[in-house]
Structure 1
Amino acid sequence: MEGARRQLDLITIGRSCIDLYGEQTGGRLEDMMSFAKYVGGSPTNTAIGAARLGLRSGLVSRVGADHFGRFIREQLVREGVATDGLVTDRARLTALVFLGIRDPDTFPLIFYRENCADMALSVGDIDIDLLQSAGAVLINGTHLSQPNVFEASVHACELARAAGARVVFDIDYRPVLWGLTGRDMGENRFVADAAVTARLQQVLPLCDLIVGTEEEIHILGGSTDTVAALRAIRGQTDALLVCKRGALGCSAFPSAIPDSLDDGVVGRGFKVEVFNVLGAGDAFMAGFLRGWLRDEPLETCCEYGNACGAIVVSRHGCAPAMPTWDELQWFLGDRGRPFRLRDDTALEDLHWSTTRVNVHEDLTVLAMDHRSQFEDLCRESGADPSRIAAFKALALKAVDRLAQGDARFGVLLDGRYGMRGLEAAADHPYWIGRPIEWPGSRPLAFESSADVATELATWPRNHVVKCLAFYHPDDPPELCERQERQLLRLQDACRKTRHELLVEIIASRHGTVDAHTTARAIRRLYDRGMKPDWWKLEPAADLATWANIESAIRSHDPHCRGVLMLGLQAPSDELVASFRIAAASPIVKGFAVGRTIFADAAARWLAGSIDDEAAIADLCGRFAVLVDAWREARAAAQLPREAV
């Protein structure tokens, strides 16, 4: 098949599981108290890493018909990895791995892989058309340990070679998965075994590229002398051999094996603190393949692999730690970097912003996160405050009636009164925002425990943390600094709990506002270290205000998600007029409006004059007016689609 016809650059075959990573470091796995859930399995990690580096990748594997299998499939889609070859196994569960970080040399592992889904992969699961659509196929040593997956892997290689694709072999040796150690010795990387060597060597004639650590080269070559092992491998294949050497980088051997590993082709190495070696090899593979599959010089391939490995070795997790192409380019640039790489704020910011998923270029949100305003309505109408929760549950029903599954819609609800709506939103594709601030607080206070991170740890990851600050750039310095400290605390908590952050700024309540005020506030917050994913800002009556805001955001954070406009209970016609102005600014993605939409329906519903259906219809109708007005304004602005 001609290269121009190929739909994928790479298909990886093999393990696909859930990594449960201990969140406490420096102790035994026995003493871990909580675990972070990530996609895992070496071929799956590599597929994600390759996709982040710009390769078109796909995965062939099996997952269970369970919650974890669905998570893997959904995450692969979010990462841009093709899932055509991912089979759902209704008889088996998705595999699990528990992992810990104890010290720079100790990383305990427990594999829960008894009769798991991915090890049931068979020849019948290999789609010929899919395999022939790829420029390369990667197989994995672990998947040669059982007859059925061995046959499936070999069959895939044969199909790939027949179609003119290249075959990559990741040795990926885990003795415990070959039954050579106790189950509590998952971190053991080498046990010599002639039978394993013989099994692995059967695939050598099919390979174009073979990658492994020194221990993995030893098991494949049948010798604990690395050079001797490499020569034994070379005796059976003409493939490019790459030996990963940890902190020393790697050595590649396109032909004869020299007397020293240092005499192979090497790329620039990088000295960084080792925090977590798990996943670094998969990152190396992704980086190397980014160069190799694009026909870069071998030295460049090695450098890409070394750099990706160095980045991931400094982070928690495997798949989520994989760098993007932007990160790799930043890392390779001529600039100083700390030895403790995770202290590189610029790199970590770039990682965060370039690995976010679900881009929203058009977002219309029904904001019903108000708390004190609903309590005021109850006092005015004499309604029981316990009824607020029932009304707020109608918000999602109104959004869904209008949106009909359109992911350009969203809902903003609080956890105090809106929890039923937040819970129901989990089954829909809509954007979900949730407030963290104490209503009306100035200086800013949080509606949570003393440690805001503890509160956010209880929130689902897809809840965007919204924080309203009554903040004016001309506030007294002490007030500004106090509010900024709170916002920085919140941002740190959001990054650690992996939540997006929306910062809402209302300046007009506490000072005069001109075309520069909001932009000045934004610039000051950026200068203090803030980089929220979203801004939520007051409507503006002139183009100059939005131009200043856009300049402030673009100059400090070109990866910012954008701005949502708030409503401030303005009449619909005033908001529609403000939409026409804001729509000309590409940084404005839509709106999050509340009281303009719900105030009348809420007052009547709490007073008992309308029922649920009437309230939903009213909410839906008023929301639809603003949605239509926004989209008409955006269309009238005639912006190029890629700029919107």
Structure 2
Amino acid sequence: MASTEFQYDLITIGRSSIDLYGEQVGGRLEDMTSFAKYIGGSPTNTAVGAARLGLRSALLTRVGADHFGRFIREQLVREGVATRGVLEDRERLTALVFLGIRDPDTFPLIFYRENCADMALQTSDVDPDFIAAAGAVLINGTHLSQPGVFAASVRACEIARAAGARVIFDIDYRPVLWGLTGKDAGENRFVAHEAVTARLQQVLPLCDLIVGTEEEMHILGGSTDTIQALRAVRARTDALLVCKRGPHGCSAFPEAIPASLDEGIVGRGFRVEVFNVLGAGDAFMAGFLRAWLRQQPLEACCEYGNACGAIVVSRHGCSPAMPTWEELQQFLSSEQRPHRLRDDRALEQLHWATTRHGHWPQLMVLAMDHRSQFEALCQQVGADPARIPDFKALALKAVDRLAKGDPRFGVLLDGRFGMRGLEAAADHDYWIGRPIELPGSCPLQFEADQDVATELMTWPANHVVKCLVFYHPDDPEDLRERQERQLLRLQDAARKTRHELLVEIIASRNGGIDDDTIPRAIQRLYDLGIHPDWWKLEPSDSLRAWANIETTILANDPHCRGVVLLGLSAPEEQLIASFQAAAQTSIVKGFAVGRTIFADAAEQWLAGRIDDEAAIDCLAGRLRVLVDAWHQAKSVAGGIAGPRS
């Protein structure tokens, strides 16, 4: 039956956990001091990898009714994995795994899986309609280790086969999860055990594809001789057998097992530096299935699997390291690549750009990240600067009053005076920006900790780092290079902390501007390797300037989120007039305007002439004028419709 007849290409079944990955590399797990949080568990990783490669994937598992369970569900949605089968267990916690990278051969793991949610999966959780909606289901070895999850896995296989779907078995052998090693030996991949072999072999008659490493084939076949183990498996099933061989790629055996692994069907292999083997097998599975479920030749299946494994083995983490389809195609088409693959800047940029979450065809932001301007305003009206945070907290309320939850709206607030607003924004779906620059600095300096990476480590992941730089392509060489070094530092820090970056360029303070000034500035930053997710640029009524800007951005970064317009405290009428030209280009998504919206309300509120409600009404009203004007400009230009009411 063709996969297009099914709602899903693939449902993976089993482990779903939180991976806490040690960020220090080269030492003992005992000596790691900070951990990055990802979703994990082999079936979950494979579901994510498959979705990134364009398959319609879903997951059947249980997660706790806790913060981590909610994170898994939210992250799966962001990744495009269907969560219909992600069930909430109110009695058990979401599983945890601590992982580390010691050296190319040592990857310590500690599984916290005592009575965890996913191991409580049972046959009553297996919805026949859900399983029958998939062209293939994938089970794994860990979920054969206990009676309840074994029965659930077998039941899913039986339903799938009855519906004409295919069954995939990822052997996924972890001796510690079968109680065969001490709990501190999570990285141990093989302990021979007859009872485990017998349990695993019970599902073989149900399978169409079986994938495992040589060690996993050993436990499945009951022999430490790989060929003999494969032959023992073949005696019990006609399934396609795929043996993963690390740096040697893989060997696929659709029929009888030959005398050596090299006589199997193989695809092109890829030799890269091994940084982290954890998750590489799940990536291999996703890549293999991308071709196998599309009825491509086995050589292509092996090549895709090998390539995905090579990409992930070079990176930190499991699910976040999975390649996208576009990334895989670039990797496969590259004639030359560094042995240390994470030094491939083009590939890493593509990975970043194609795995970001969220989509903003338009963006309308109330920018109230000003700091020195508010201090000056307090001095002007005789107000206590301690009141500034209370006024800034009104920004989110004003946006919410107008937007009513529309995620195409946003706020730009600072951590010094706007922290209450930033904290409240965590409960909404609005775009959130936050400044990093020291106000007015030229050359560019960073506020708070000058070690910008240390500062960004304290920011929530959904805060977009905004950096204003007074930058002109004709600046004196010393000034220009000092500012560029700061931007390079900032981009490096933002990528390492997984924050999006918005670069705001104000060139008019440093020199004259024509239709080529901003494009030249943008091009120079791209030439240096700076790829902001967003640009924030000065308003202009020149159609030619905007056309040049769009051409420059798309030529260097077709995945750029886009441009938002800043206001420069321009009068409302002047700013609206500038929308007409900017709206002609698709790269401009909207605006992030501040003083044009808040100046009057802030002065009156700080002076005590209006209360909170009046200030919110004023802010929302001024914001609506610009929103309506932007939608009108886009409508005239043949663009997008306005927000929902």
Q: Partners in 1 of 2:226 and 2:269 — Cα distance?
A: 20
Opposite residue 42 of structure 2, the aligned amino acid is: S
Judge which range, 3-12 or 279-288, deviates more. Answer: 3-12
**1:121 counterpart residue number:** 121
Q: Partners in 2 of 1:453 and 1:633 — Cα distance?
A: 39
Q: Is 1:135 paired with 2:131?
A: no
Q: Report the count of equivalent residues.
A: 641
Q: Partners in 1 of 2:290 and 2:596 — Cα distance?
A: 51
**2:187 counterpart residue number:** 187
Q: Partners in 2 of 1:49 and 1:82 — Cα distance?
A: 13
**2:569 counterpart residue number:** 569
Opposite residue 162 of structure 2, the aligned amino acid is: A
The structural deviation recorded for 1:239 is: 0.3
Residue 508 of structure 1 aligns to a residue whose secondary structure is coil
Q: Is 1:57 paired with 2:57?
A: yes
Opposite residue 274 of structure 1, the aligned amino acid is: V
**1:312 counterpart residue number:** 312
Q: Partners in 2 of 1:135 and 1:4 — Cα distance?
A: 8
**2:632 counterpart residue number:** 632
Matches within 5 A, 1:259-274: 259-274=259-274
Opposite residue 18 of structure 1, the aligned amino acid is: I
Q: Deviations over 1:132-152 (max 9, x none)?
A: 111100001000001111010
**1:510 counterpart residue number:** 510
Q: Is 1:538 paired with 2:535?
A: no
**1:550 counterpart residue number:** 550
Asked whether the 8 Å contact 2:631–2:640 carries over to 1, the reply is no
Opposite residue 632 of structure 1, the aligned amino acid is: Q
Residue 509 of structure 1 aligns to a residue whose secondary structure is coil
**2:173 counterpart residue number:** 173
**2:338 counterpart residue number:** 338
Opposite residue 160 of structure 1, the aligned amino acid is: A
Q: Is 1:27 paired with 2:62?
A: no
**1:354 counterpart residue number:** 354
Normalised TM-score (structure 1): 0.99
Q: Deviations over 1:545-580 (max 9, x none)?
A: 100000110111111110000011111111211112
**2:248 counterpart residue number:** 248
The structural deviation recorded for 1:3 is: 4.0
**2:298 counterpart residue number:** 298
Q: Partners in 1 of 2:158 and 2:625 — Cα distance?
A: 59
The structural deviation recorded for 1:448 is: 2.2
Residue 238 of structure 1 aligns to a residue whose secondary structure is coil
**2:326 counterpart residue number:** 326
**4+ residue stretches of structure 1 with deviation over 6 A?**
none
Q: Is 1:462 paired with 2:462?
A: yes
Judge which range, 2-11 or 386-395, deviates more. Answer: 2-11
Q: Deviations over 1:84-140 (max 9, x none)?
A: 011011111000000000000000000000110000011111111111111100001
Stretches of structure 2 that go unaligned for 5 or more consecutive residues are none
Residue 150 of structure 2 aligns to a residue whose secondary structure is helix
The structural deviation recorded for 1:2 is: 6.0
**1:607 counterpart residue number:** 607
Q: Partners in 2 of 1:634 and 1:150 — Cα distance?
A: 56
The structural deviation recorded for 1:5 is: 2.8
Asked whether the 8 Å contact 2:432–2:462 carries over to 1, the reply is yes
Opposite residue 243 of structure 2, the aligned amino acid is: C
Matches within 5 A, 1:480-519: 480-519=480-519
**1:404 counterpart residue number:** 404
Asked whether the 8 Å contact 2:98–2:110 carries over to 1, the reply is yes
**1:212 counterpart residue number:** 212
Judge which range, 145-154 or 577-586, deviates more. Answer: 577-586
Opposite residue 37 of structure 1, the aligned amino acid is: K
Residue 8 of structure 2 aligns to a residue whose secondary structure is coil
Residue 241 of structure 1 aligns to a residue whose secondary structure is strand
Matches within 5 A, 1:417-456: 417-456=417-456
Q: Is 1:152 paired with 2:189?
A: no
Opposite residue 449 of structure 2, the aligned amino acid is: S
**2:105 counterpart residue number:** 105
Opposite residue 280 of structure 1, the aligned amino acid is: A
Identity of aligned residues (%): 77
Residue 449 of structure 2 aligns to a residue whose secondary structure is coil
Q: Partners in 1 of 2:632 and 2:541 — Cα distance?
A: 18
Q: Partners in 2 of 1:128 and 1:546 — Cα distance?
A: 55
Matches within 5 A, 1:614-629: 614-629=614-629
Normalised TM-score (structure 2): 0.99
Q: Deviations over 1:28-87 (max 9, x none)?
A: 000000000000000000000000001010000000000000000000000000000110
Q: Partners in 2 of 1:459 and 1:484 — Cα distance?
A: 23
Asked whether the 8 Å contact 2:444–2:486 carries over to 1, the reply is yes
Opposite residue 502 of structure 1, the aligned amino acid is: L
Q: Partners in 2 of 1:544 and 1:356 — Cα distance?
A: 31
Q: Is 1:13 paired with 2:13?
A: yes
Opposite residue 249 of structure 1, the aligned amino acid is: G
The structural deviation recorded for 1:262 is: 0.4
Q: Partners in 1 of 2:210 and 2:150 — Cα distance?
A: 17
The structural deviation recorded for 1:450 is: 2.2
The structural deviation recorded for 1:629 is: 1.2
The structural deviation recorded for 1:223 is: 0.5
**1:393 counterpart residue number:** 393
Asked whether the 8 Å contact 2:109–2:185 carries over to 1, the reply is yes
Query: What RMSD in Å do the two structures reach over aligned CA positions?
Result: 0.9
Opposite residue 53 of structure 1, the aligned amino acid is: L
Q: Partners in 2 of 1:542 and 1:162 — Cα distance?
A: 64
Judge which range, 327-336 or 151-160, deviates more. Answer: 327-336
Judge which range, 405-414 or 626-635, deviates more. Answer: 626-635
Q: Partners in 2 of 1:345 and 1:364 — Cα distance?
A: 32
Q: Partners in 1 of 2:359 and 2:64 — Cα distance?
A: 28
**1:93 counterpart residue number:** 93
Structure 1 residues 574 and 640: alpha-carbon distance in aligned structure 2, compared to 1, 3 A threshold: closer
Q: Deviations over 1:303-330 (max 9, x none)?
A: 0000000000000000000000111111
The structural deviation recorded for 1:628 is: 1.3
Q: Partners in 2 of 1:200 and 1:470 — Cα distance?
A: 64
Asked whether the 8 Å contact 2:3–2:9 carries over to 1, the reply is no
Opposite residue 419 of structure 1, the aligned amino acid is: M
Residue 509 of structure 2 aligns to a residue whose secondary structure is helix
Q: Partners in 1 of 2:293 and 2:41 — Cα distance?
A: 22
The structural deviation recorded for 1:640 is: 7.7
Residue 256 of structure 1 aligns to a residue whose secondary structure is coil
Asked whether the 8 Å contact 2:94–2:117 carries over to 1, the reply is yes
Q: Partners in 2 of 1:211 and 1:636 — Cα distance?
A: 56
**2:378 counterpart residue number:** 378
The structural deviation recorded for 1:637 is: 1.2
